[in-house]
Homo-oligomer: A and B are copies of this chain.
Amino acid sequence: MTAGASGRDGGRRTRLLVVDDEPTILELLSASLRFVGFEVRTAESGTAALAVAEEFQPDLLVLDVMLPDLDGFAVTRRLRAGGAHVPVVFLTARDATEDKITGLTIGGDDYVTKPFSLEEVVARIRAVLRRTNADLAEPGEDRDDGVLRFADLELDEDTHDVRRAGRLVRLSPTEYKLLHYLLLNADKVLSKAQILDHVWRYDFAGDARIVESYISLLRRKIDTVDPPLIHTLRGFGYSLRLPRA
């Protein structure tokens, strides 16, 4: 993880409260959010969420809209009644008669539909934090401008522009998410399974070999100039890095 890329804000770690009634989802999310550097607390119901929030004072909520007791909206409203504006990333079912997806993007909030990919959730959380912090922050030097860079490669999270050696490249959604994941983990070795688990939605049934296909597509689009940045570590996985001496 790039310094300050996720979960850190100066000295103190960013606090997330994750709320979902399915233990599987809760486990999946909290584990990977902790792994990318956030301080995570969880709750399995709306009322529990309110109680935990009171004491934990999270910087952001990841909140299932469909909860057994209070739904996500009610939780949000109660939490903000005190004036403080806690940003929220909502989780919502894609197929379930999607009548409720209104008003989820108000005030800097955002939402992700289930089944999501971890890549997606982390990206949304980071985007929301960036937006809400940008309002408060001084226009100083090292403010997070939402552009990920590695060597002569850059990816703008706001405009979705991707450039290699200054040249703009058009990527499909999956190609974009894959590259995003590689950039966030530059220099690290990522196994195909790992990539699959983060970039593809958690209900994907297919083979991990699809990652090979996408690496191939991505190489053609961004890695045909010197030096090559996407490297295969046979038997282990892939890594975005400068060629070793």
A158 (CB) vs chain B CBs: closest residue = B188
**Which A positions have Cβ atoms within 8 angstroms of B?**
1, 23-24, 27-28, 30-32, 34-35, 37, 42, 76-77, 80-81, 83, 85, 98-99, 101-109, 111, 118, 135, 158-161, 167-168, 172-173, 187-189, 191, 193-194, 196-198, 202, 204-205, 207-208, 233-236, 239, 241, 244-245
Contact, CB under 8 Å: B244 / A193: no
Q: Which of A31, A76, A80 has the most CB of B within 10 A?
A: A31
What is the CA–CA distance of A31 and B80 in the complex, to the nearest angstrom? Answer: 9
A145 → B minimal CB distance (Å): 13
Q: Which of A105, A168, A202 has the most CB of B within 10 A?
A: A105
A180 → B minimal CB distance (Å): 12
Contact with A105, one of B76, B102, B194 (Cβ below 8 angstroms): B194
Contact, CB under 8 Å: A101 / B208: yes
